[in-house]
Amino acid sequence: MRRARVEDPGWGRHPSADALIEQLYAAHWHSLVRLAWLLVHDQAAAEDIVQDAFIATHRNAHLLRDQSAALGYLRRAVINAARSVHRHDVVVRRELTAEAGKADALGRGSAASAESDALAHLGDAHILAAVRELPPRQREVLVLRYFADLSEAQIAEALGVAPGSVKAHAHRALAALRARMEDRS
């Protein structure tokens, strides 16, 4: 009987990749998980996103021309994965809404849960809800700027846009938040 040949995924070919990942993990794991959580609002998903970003960075470390660019690569991978999670959530919500609209849908509820009511009365909940309502790019800029404490240049690199775009998105997002908060008060 002939044995199947297993392809080497590339791990272990570059010993410096192991050291790079160890250093990045020790220095940036928590901040990257916080960044991912602020984008997806789910701790388990945030940890999965960051873990996948580290795996991809390790796998592609030999492609980096400069190892100092690895942190930027990680941030971009986290942001892109968070976008994928949001795209997936949109599809799931659409399917659930279609299913719930059927006459024979199981367990249709008509009132908000007790947890939803409790969260609605929290002060920060209003701000977080308003941030969640922003367009994705504006939300990403605010999270990276005010929660991850990145500079405009770092945000531009992480999102793959020009620094001027970062300023424009931040300005629009803050104006929209200001208007929403004034409407609620």
Same domain for 166 and 89, yes or no, is no
3 state SS of 151: coil
Tell me the residue range of the domain where 130 lies: 118-185
Q: Residue 110 pLDDT > 60, yes or no? A: no
pLDDT band at 1 (very low <50, low <70, confident <90, very high): very low
Percent of residues, the chain, with pLDDT higher than 70: 77
What is the per-residue pLDDT for 77? 94
Domain boundary among 101, 132, 164: 101
Q: How far apart are CA 107 and CA 162, in angstroms?
A: 48
Choose the weakest-confidence range: 23-32, 50-59, 88-97, 156-165.
Answer: 88-97
Same domain for 76 and 133, yes or no, is no
| Burial of residue 72, with CB atoms counted within 10 A of its CB: 0-12 exposed, 13-18 middle, 19 or more buried | middle
Q: How far apart are CA 49 and CA 45, in angstroms?
A: 6
Q: What is the mean pLDDT of residues 37-41?
A: 93
Q: Looking at the domain assignment, is residue 111 inside a domain?
A: no
What is the per-residue pLDDT for 185? 65
What is the per-residue pLDDT for 93? 85
- DSSP assignment, residue 134? S
Q: Residue 4 pLDDT > 60, yes or no? A: no
pLDDT in tens, 130-173: 888 899 999 999 889 888 889 999 999 999 999 999 999 999 99
Of 98 and 41, the one with more pLDDT: 41
Least Cα distance to 15 among 53, 69, 62 occurs for: 62
Domain boundary among 101, 132, 149: 101
pLDDT in tens, 86-106: 899 888 888 887 776 665 555
Q: Residue 6 pLDDT > 80, yes or no? A: no
| Contact (Cβ atoms closer than 8 angstroms) between residue 37 and residue 46 | yes
Domain boundary among 101, 130, 160: 101
Domain count across the chain: 2
Q: Looking at the domain assignment, is residue 8 inside a domain?
A: no
CATH assignment at residue 37: 1.10.1740
What is the per-residue pLDDT for 103? 59
Max Cα-Cα span within the chain: 75
Same domain for 88 and 124, yes or no, is no
Q: How far apart are CA 126 and CA 109, in angstroms?
A: 24
